[in-house]
Amino acid sequence: MEMEKAPRGRPRRLDKEKILEIASNLFWQQGYEATSINELVTAMGITPPSLYAAYSSKEELYLAAIDRYSASYGRQMLSGLALHSCVYEALRTVLYECVEVFVGGDHPSGCMISTGLVESSNAQGALARKLADLRQQTIQIIADKFKSCETQFVEGTDLQALASFFGATIQGMAVQARDVNCPTELHKIADHSLSVLQACRRF
Amino acid sequence: MEMEKAPRGRPRRLDKEKILEIASNLFWQQGYEATSINELVTAMGITPPSLYAAYSSKEELYLAAIDRYSASYGRQMLSGLALHSCVYEALRTVLYECVEVFVGGDHPSGCMISTGLVESSNAQGALARKLADLRQQTIQIIADKFKSCETQFVEGTDLQALASFFGATIQGMAVQARDVNCPTELHKIADHSLSVLQACRRF
DNA sequence: CCATTTCCATAGCGATCACTATATATATTG
DNA sequence: CAATATATATAGTGATCGCTATGGAAATGG
């Protein structure tokens, strides 16, 4: 069996994953620009040099937080696309999982990506473009699912536009999750949105 | 006839309205926290004391900018509600006017209110709550129109939830206006959203 | 003209920003 | 026990934050 050999020097009080978890929740709650290094290290119970030993800049930390969010919550929200061959069941699962993530659990409300860096200074242009890309990627993933289910739609349906519409629904739900934080209201929004998909289906 | 008597002291280089116009566009582009006093006064061609002579704080300036936006663009976007007795025509006009504002003209893209201070530090809690209120007010205005047109809907329709859905549509369009800035795409989103209203109508 | 009124520009306030140089604390290695 | 390696805490960097005290510039009133 493999023994975990302790590393050479003084052990760190917080590993990278724990640092990232705390940073993710703060960025999720307050956004990139509104979250200061001071707030981060205070929440972590460490000091700035320890943070910078793990992540070389605030920007890198934020990017890692976004990656972490995508890999866990983002994956969860889109998991329905692969689970269901019926495009309606697939998208209903996606929207309901969005509600779960946006208002549920022991984490901030809303969505790190949907409302991330929508407003920002020119100084953060690169990060803002990255977030806009991620939003567009999400829409593209939905569009690809629609295209792979083309036979389920009435002929001539603009599947790309339909995916943009559901992207807008998700982004709108993310805003309202911040404002009212009520799963019931979000479910109603999801259901109205799903009725559009229902109307585009062929039976 | 009334003569405009020049005031007593040194004349100001920029009146309050011009200051507000420039501030509004910068806040619209970058948001509240990402826009610094330095950027504002540089864009205005004045110095901080002149700005503070007109508006006593950054927060007050931002609130005035939001008021200005509501009175002009906000009013324009909701004007369709009073113009049309047909609820479908009314809401179609609203969504199309949103597209006009969100991607058109010689001003920033997106919406000052829909995506304003969705992410923010606790220090800006009061402003963030104000913006959330404005978003909910918009939804309520749409809900009130629906209720005044109750006879046009199929019986038992949840008009409040329907209004929330269109609020989400508008907020989603505001995000995508920032990301792609394309009126054609937004119109497709608006049309899909309107099909939900069409399905709720009684003929 | 001078006095008065009003606004503007310079300069800088204390606080906070993201980030780091230095030295000390805590572990393993030999 | 050193000697080495790593992470830590203290304390601070220059820059920028929102905001303002001071004094001079530019107008009218007498």
CA distance B35 to B51: 14
pLDDT at B121: 85
Contact B172 A176 (CB under 8 A): no
Contact B188 A136 (CB under 8 A): no
Best of A175, A178, A180, A196 to substitute, by most chain B Cβ atoms within 10 angstroms, is A175
Residue A144, helix vs strand vs coil: helix
Mean pLDDT of all residues in B159-172:
98
Is the CB of residue A147 less than 8 Å from the CB of residue A159? Answer: yes
pLDDT above 80: residue B6: no
Residue B134, helix vs strand vs coil: helix
* Residue B6 to chain A, least CA–CA distance (Å): 39
Nearest to B119 among A30, A172, A176 (CB): A30
With CA of B50 and C1' of each nucleotide, the nearest comes out as: C8
Flag whether residue B172 sits within 8 Å of chain A, measured between CB atoms: yes
Second-level CATH architecture of B16-200:
Orthogonal Bundle (1.10)
**Interhelix angle B58-69/B125-148, nearest 10 degrees:** 20
Tell me the two tokens of residue B111: 């919406």
Contact B172 A169 (CB under 8 A): yes
Give the whole-number percent of chain A exceeding pLDDT 70. Answer: 97
pLDDT at B4: 53
List the domain boundaries for chain B: 16-200
pLDDT above 90: residue A4: no
CA distance B132 to B197: 25
Chain segment A23-73, per-residue pLDDT in tens: 999 999 999 999 999 999 999 999 999 999 999 999 999 999 999 999 999
Flag whether residue A135 sits within 8 Å of chain B, measured between CB atoms: yes
Within chain B, residue ranges assigned H as helices are: 16-30, 37-44, 48-54, 58-69, 75-78, 80-83, 87-103, 125-148, 159-179, 183-200
Give the whole-number percent of chain B exceeding pLDDT 90. Answer: 88
Chain segment A86-110, per-residue pLDDT in tens: 999 999 999 999 999 999 789 999 9
Q: Report how far Cα A56 is from the mean position of its chain's Cα atoms.
A: 23
Closest by alpha carbon to A64, among A37, A11, A24? A24
Q: For chain D, which bases have at least one atom within 7 A of a protein Cβ? A: 4-12, 16-22, 24-29
Chain segment B42-78, per-residue pLDDT in tens: 999 999 999 999 999 999 999 999 999 999 999 999 9
Mean pLDDT of all residues in A118-134:
93
* Residue A165 to chain B, least CA–CA distance (Å): 5
Closest by alpha carbon to A94, among A83, A108, A105? A83
Phi and psi of B3, rounded to 5°?
A: -95, 135
Flag whether residue B82 sits within 8 Å of chain A, measured between CB atoms: no
pLDDT band at B5 (very low <50, low <70, confident <90, very high): low
C-alpha separations of A68 from A25, A43, A62, A105, A109 in Å: 11, 18, 10, 17, 16
Identity of the amino acid at A132:
A
Identity of the amino acid at B103:
V
pLDDT above 80: residue B120: yes
Identity of the amino acid at B8:
R
Mean pLDDT of chain B: 94
pLDDT at A5: 63
* Residue B99 to chain A, least CA–CA distance (Å): 13
pLDDT above 90: residue A3: no
Question: Model pTM?
Answer: 0.94
Phi and psi of B201, rounded to 5°?
A: -85, 155
Tell me the two tokens of residue B75: 């009013």
pLDDT at A9: 77
Mean pLDDT of all residues in B168-183:
97
Mean pLDDT of chain A: 94
